[in-house]
Amino acid sequence: MDTAQRILDVAERLVQTQGFNGFSYADISAQLGITKASLHYHFATKAELGLALITRYSAGFRRALDEIDVSAADAREKLRRYADLYAEVLRQHRMCLCGMLAADYTTLSTAMRAGVKEFFDLNESWLGRVLDEGRKQGALRFRGPPLDSARLLLGSLEGAMLVARSYGDPERFTSAAQRLLAEVSGSRKKPAGRNARRLGR
């Protein structure tokens, strides 16, 4: 693995656990055993590093959404697997990268702010399409435009991650996500028990 990717890997973990303003180049340098000069060679500024993180994270998330589109049987399954992307991050004791960056939004560079918005736009657009598809198939039931429900679902999942993290209990997120998905699927089934490992099971 080249140095730039190693830097991004460490920086991503630090953002997901401490926030963008919670670490410095010195932290990355110490963990990788390289000089700060080497860091600046690859990413001249922290803002440049942050933008590279957003770009890579968004690309990976888009690939995950494309895989769900290809392999999930229907809209309900797509939504379950979408929520599980967040649950898996939380089980690794991390948070959504762009969710953490949103908390530091006012201190980010203009380019980073745009990148964070693009990530959320990507998610809202995908969710809106899946919700619209599911309603047309009769698999999902919700009121109003699909995009409104997409925005509500995205915001609720991001918020549920924060609360679950506060309690150190990923199952709080699982329970909240299952209830949210039950609302749009027209099902009010009781969420799975605390030992459920994956959403929808």
Where are the extended beta strands (E) located within the chain? Answer: none
Q: Please tell me the predicted confidence (pLDDT) of residue 185.
A: 80
- The answer, yes or no, to whether residue 62 has pLDDT greater than 80, is yes
Domains of the chain with bracketed CATH: 46-185 (1.10.357.10)
Q: Please tell me the predicted confidence (pLDDT) of residue 191.
A: 45
* Location of structure tokens 């303003």: 21
Across the range 111-129, mean pLDDT stands at 98
Rounded Cα distance between 175 and 192, Å, is: 7
- The answer, yes or no, to whether residue 188 has pLDDT greater than 70, is no
- The answer, yes or no, to whether residue 127 has pLDDT greater than 60, is yes
Per-residue CA distances from 136 to 83, 183, 192 (Å): 21, 16, 28
- The answer, yes or no, to whether residue 193 has pLDDT greater than 70, is no
Across the range 34-62, mean pLDDT stands at 97
